[in-house]
Structure 1
Amino acid sequence: MFILDEDSERTAGRDAQQANIAAGKAIAEAVRTTLGPQGMDKMLVSDSGDVVITNDGATILSEMDIEHPAAQMLVDVADEQEAALGDGTTTAAILTGELLSAAEEFLDQDLHPRTIVEGYWEVERIAADAIDDCILDDDEFGEESLQQAVESAMTGKGTGSVAVDALAGTIIEAVERVDDDGTADRDAIAVEARTGRSASATEVVDGVLADADPVRDGMPERVDDATVAVIDGDLEQREPGVDTEYAISTDEQLSTAVAAEEETLVGYAESLATAGVDVAFVTGDIADRTASALASRGILAFEDVDGDAAAVAAATGASQVPGADEVEAGDPGSAGAIAVEAAGDDSVVRIEAGAGEPRATVVVRGSTEHALDEIERTVNDGIDVAVAAYNRREVVPGGGMVEVAVAERLREAAAGVEGRRQLAVEAAAEAFDAVPRALARSAGEDPIDTLVELRAANREGRAGLVIDGDVTVADPVEHGVLDPAAVKRESVRSAVEVATMILRIDDVISAD
């Protein structure tokens, strides 16, 4: 009896587990050498010849053409971590690969996958406690710690000729500008990338930048203390809801029809002027006659701003309304200044000091497209890290110190874990040791000797791998090597989540 289609393929039992584990380990190996400030870059070439050069783990995973479903699970989790925190995806991938490797050995010894999974759940709990114990005290955390955490996240990535500390300072400035009662909203910080200048020209704009041109020449290029309307629709002659034909047989009827259309189109401009609007952002199209009427009334107007409308409304406090005749006294927003600026062959609109939510835009510059792409990715990651550290006020020493501490805690706690789950906890300690080993290897050091030195130094105090010209084992805090605690927690959570999901699969059924 056939249950599955004859074109279906099924892999079950140990074969399915081996295939899935091998896929997860392959992904980990693909990004392992990119870890750390001395990590190597990867060149990714698409079928169309597009080239991406990066050592950002999340970018590498997202750009790879991955077909295996188990490997894709790791990529999906990495994407979630990148979106939430902007860092730690390479560490999560390495930990996942190591946890799967350990599990593979246990499966060969007939240890049930469920036992391994339960052991890894214990690992996540123990690791979270160990990370919490590594968090710097309140008297150690400050503005300098925030700067150092952002620099640590960006060091080794493609920042062009600009110093990392300068970019980190720019990012922190943007974060502080969107501070609302001690909390920064990541969505309130936008990144605009433009070629033509070096990365050192990267700056922060207090407000929003929108890609738009005035709909008509003769409109003002700058409006101070602007009253702003955001219209979600068109300022054109409305089309009837059903097909309609009008029979015009006399000049008088034609004149009446033209006058009615003129009244409608000019009426849009009149409605905005009556509401005191100085600047109008319209998501749809603006008719030429309406644009002319707006210009004659000194109103600056932009059309087709659908992608920027929400940000403009949030920054200015304007309500998005469906039509010009619905812009009432309470609906318009305001801005300290709105100016049209040249950006190469195009124009951008700068909206500053709006009356709505605090907003900031980091204008990233780069001399070439490849350089700009990498700098933009680095800045976005830096912003994510800065927001995580700024909002939680929790940072931990970097340089592999946390992973060494977690591994030591797992070894100590394993004896208290009942049954065979203890084996999984002990093996996970070796998995965490893989992170400082990868850091050492990327820096050109012997990974085993470095790990032994790190363990010994952490028994006496606080030590990590510090790379500042030379490679030394020293206190990361004294050398400004810090990471947000949230990134470390999420890396562990992601690694355990993916590893346990893969281990619980014992049957793979595929069909065309």
Structure 2
Amino acid sequence: MAGLTNAPILILKEGHKRETGKAAQHKNIMAAKAIAEALKTTLGPKGMDKMMVDGSGDVVITNDGATILREMDIEHPVAKMIVEVARAQEDEVGDGTTTAVVLAGGLLDNAEELINIGVHPTVIVQGYKAAQQKAYEFLEEMAVSVSKEEREILKKIAGTAMTGKGIEIFKEKLTEICVDAAAAIEEDGQVDVEERVNFVKIGSGSVKDTELCEGVVLDKERLNPDMPKKVAGARIALLDSTLELKKLSTDAKVTIKSPESLSSFREGEDEVLREKVDAMAKVGANVVFCKQGIGAYASRYLANYGIIAARRVSDEDMKFLALSTGGKIVTDPLEMAGEDLGSADLVRERKVGKEKKMIFVEGCHGAKAVTVVIHGSSEQIRDNVERALEDALWSVATVLGSKKIVPGGGAPEIEVAEKLRQYASTMSGRDQLAVRAFADAVEEIPLNLAENAGFDSIDALVNLRSSHGAGNKTYGLDIETGKPADMMKQGVVEPLKVKTQAIKSGTAAATLVLRVDDVIAAKVEGLKPKPGQSPHDYTRQPMMPPMM
């Protein structure tokens, strides 16, 4: 038995693969850095675009970090972790995804160097967390307060978020739309972009025709050509029930013994619909939006009353209609009251493009939801405009909530890096190495801004450090000249919360990766044919998941 003491003990099933120690850490860091490398060339107003082609051949061209990550088909588990953290950044503040991923890549790159010289990952994580808290303090110190009345500053915030999306020629109009939309739905400093702003894209006209509708735009036509094309002073009924004849079930029986009985039966059904339409007209409704069907009989009655109606309106559109018009969604029209009706200055059917028609609900005073109607000659242009408007709206919403901004152009990163190095010099032990590594990683942002704009990144970084050393803490990179300039005077400003969230997300991603020192990958089993089926029905074979 003594000869068996050195036999290997197997605790995993055959086919499992395991990486441990520095080998696992190295591969994990490489996977995370690969994501950062893919995104860093898109950073800034002069960042490059990525072309994403899916399995069906559909193409998306964008430099929006969140969109790129969403479209990437990622397999490595650590790379997926980075993507999830980046999505948290997008969900929280709607912008700064690329910054967060580039920061995470820089933190991991510098951490790998420290690991190679013998610094334990736990020490690096502790140092990074200490640096993260100090970075928050330094950013807060350089932040400037702003109120919702400072419209020009809000426009500058929206403009900064839009820059680099390929729509700069229309920036003035689009920033106006963003600020107007945010102001319309703001409640106690909160702007819910996801739930209160609807984007409708129309394949006609130019981007300059893009407009804000303080109401709702429905991809619907009026139900009956005899209905009016527009109604001023609209009183809007929102109905979650059907206005059509009910179909009998397959086992239902109706006994009709004479032609008169058949006529009476039909008239009875007809009368039910007439009563429902009469009830809505009686409380003053002149517009009806129905979530379910509206039959021919009801359509005719509605037209006779001069009511515009649309049927099979989606759940989302009904929600926006209720928020915009102040109406209440009612299930039984016979119980509808005047206070249940929404209101709008105008409801009209408009022709958009050569053949398409849509219903516009406009002039909803006190609307809690708005619609941005995006025009453009191609789907790619319209998608870019939507992404730019969404980013800008999120930035304005974030500022209205936090009421603080910082200069852009890499100025906050340079200032934070300089102060972190001063902080590191007060520390003893190996933690200070991690804090310095954090400072170097933060400077990846201005470095990439300069490089993507075609300037020498080292020269740009040295000049920015010199400016901040002289006390010019609002100086960032002038993207046109490559020289330091006062970002506040140039109107290049960003929400404070976007910066703090990017540091939070980037640090979280990096520390998650650094704390993993063992990766156990299970064998992926192929599908096996059932008895009687051909093996050729299945093409998957047992395989090992790639570690890289």
Q: Scaled by the length of structure 1, what TM-score is found?
A: 0.93
For residue 455 of structure 1, what is the amino acid of its counterpart? Answer: R
Residues 112 and 36 (structure 1 numbering): CA distance in 2 closer, same or farther, change over 3 Å?
same
- Tell me the SS of whatever aligns to 2:88: helix
For residue 301 of structure 1, what is the amino acid of its counterpart? Answer: A
Q: Distance in 1 between matches of 2:13 and 2:257?
A: 68
Contact 2:170–2:207 under 8 Å retained in 1: no
Check if 1:28 corresponds to 2:36.
Answer: yes
Residues 227 and 14 (structure 1 numbering): CA distance in 2 closer, same or farther, change over 3 Å?
same
Match of 1:133 in 2: 141
Check if 1:281 corresponds to 2:289.
Answer: yes
Residues 463 and 450 (structure 1 numbering): CA distance in 2 closer, same or farther, change over 3 Å?
farther
Report deviation, 1:222. Answer: 1.4
Comparing 280-289 with 2-11, which one deviates more in the overlay?
2-11
Q: Scaled by the length of structure 2, what TM-score is found?
A: 0.87
Structure with max Cα Rg: 2
For residue 19 of structure 1, what is the amino acid of its counterpart? Answer: K
1:313 equivalent among 317, 322, 341: 322
Match of 1:400 in 2: 410
Residues 273-352 of structure 1: matches in 2 within 5 Å? Answer: 273-306=281-314, 307-344=316-353, 345-352=355-362
Comparing 78-87 with 274-283, which one deviates more in the overlay?
78-87
Contact 1:189–1:359 under 8 Å retained in 2: yes
Comparing 110-119 with 98-107, which one deviates more in the overlay?
110-119
Q: Distance in 1 between matches of 2:334 and 2:519?
A: 59
Match of 2:61 in 1: 53
Check if 1:473 corresponds to 2:490.
Answer: no
For residue 380 of structure 2, what is the amino acid of its counterpart? Answer: H
- Tell me the SS of whatever aligns to 1:40: coil
Residues 454 and 356 (structure 1 numbering): CA distance in 2 closer, same or farther, change over 3 Å?
closer
Q: Distance in 1 between matches of 2:106 and 2:257?
A: 83
Q: Distance in 1 between matches of 2:500 and 2:446?
A: 17
- Tell me the SS of whatever aligns to 1:477: helix
Check if 1:444 corresponds to 2:454.
Answer: yes
Report deviation, 1:323. Answer: 2.8
Contact 2:453–2:479 under 8 Å retained in 1: no
Match of 1:171 in 2: 178
Q: Distance in 2 between matches of 1:13 and 1:210?
A: 58
Comparing 210-219 with 326-335, which one deviates more in the overlay?
326-335
Match of 1:411 in 2: 421
State the Cα deviation string for residues 172-202 of structure 1 (Å, max 9, x = none): 1222233445554423332222222221222
Match of 1:255 in 2: 263
Report deviation, 1:124. Answer: 1.6
Q: Distance in 1 between matches of 2:146 and 2:257?
A: 84
State the Cα deviation string for residues 79-111 of structure 1 (Å, max 9, x = none): 232243232111111100011112222333443
2:433 equivalent among 419, 423, 427: 423
- Tell me the SS of whatever aligns to 2:371: strand
Contact 1:465–1:471 under 8 Å retained in 2: no
Q: Distance in 2 between matches of 1:101 and 1:56?
A: 23
Match of 2:165 in 1: 157
Q: Distance in 2 between matches of 1:341 and 1:395?
A: 41
Contact 1:189–1:361 under 8 Å retained in 2: yes
2:232 equivalent among 224, 227, 233: 224
User: How high is the sequence identity, in percent, across the aligned residues?
Assistant: 38
Residues 53 and 165 (structure 1 numbering): CA distance in 2 closer, same or farther, change over 3 Å?
same
Report deviation, 1:13. Answer: 3.6
Contact 1:414–1:426 under 8 Å retained in 2: yes
Contact 1:195–1:366 under 8 Å retained in 2: yes
Residues 18 and 238 (structure 1 numbering): CA distance in 2 closer, same or farther, change over 3 Å?
farther
Report deviation, 1:241. Answer: 8.1
Report deviation, 1:417. Answer: 4.4
Residues 408 and 287 (structure 1 numbering): CA distance in 2 closer, same or farther, change over 3 Å?
same
Q: Distance in 1 between matches of 2:300 and 2:77?
A: 57
Contact 2:16–2:521 under 8 Å retained in 1: yes
State the Cα deviation string for residues 228-257 of structure 1 (Å, max 9, x = none): 111123222345789533344443442332
For residue 269 of structure 1, what is the amino acid of its counterpart? Answer: V
Q: Distance in 1 between matches of 2:19 and 2:269?
A: 69
Q: Please list every run of at least 4 consecutive aligned residues from structure 1 whose deviation after the TM superposition is greater than 6 angstroms.
A: none
Aligned residue pairs total 511
Match of 2:3 in 1: none
Q: Distance in 1 between matches of 2:282 and 2:23?
A: 74
For residue 177 of structure 1, what is the amino acid of its counterpart? Answer: A
Match of 2:507 in 1: 496
Q: Distance in 1 between matches of 2:217 and 2:445?
A: 40
Q: Distance in 1 between matches of 2:153 and 2:442?
A: 25
Q: Distance in 2 between matches of 1:197 and 1:329?
A: 39
Report deviation, 1:303. Answer: 0.8
Report deviation, 1:138. Answer: 5.4
- Structure 1 runs not aligned, ≥5 long: none
Report deviation, 1:12. Answer: 3.7
Q: Distance in 2 between matches of 1:371 and 1:354?
A: 29
Contact 2:184–2:366 under 8 Å retained in 1: no
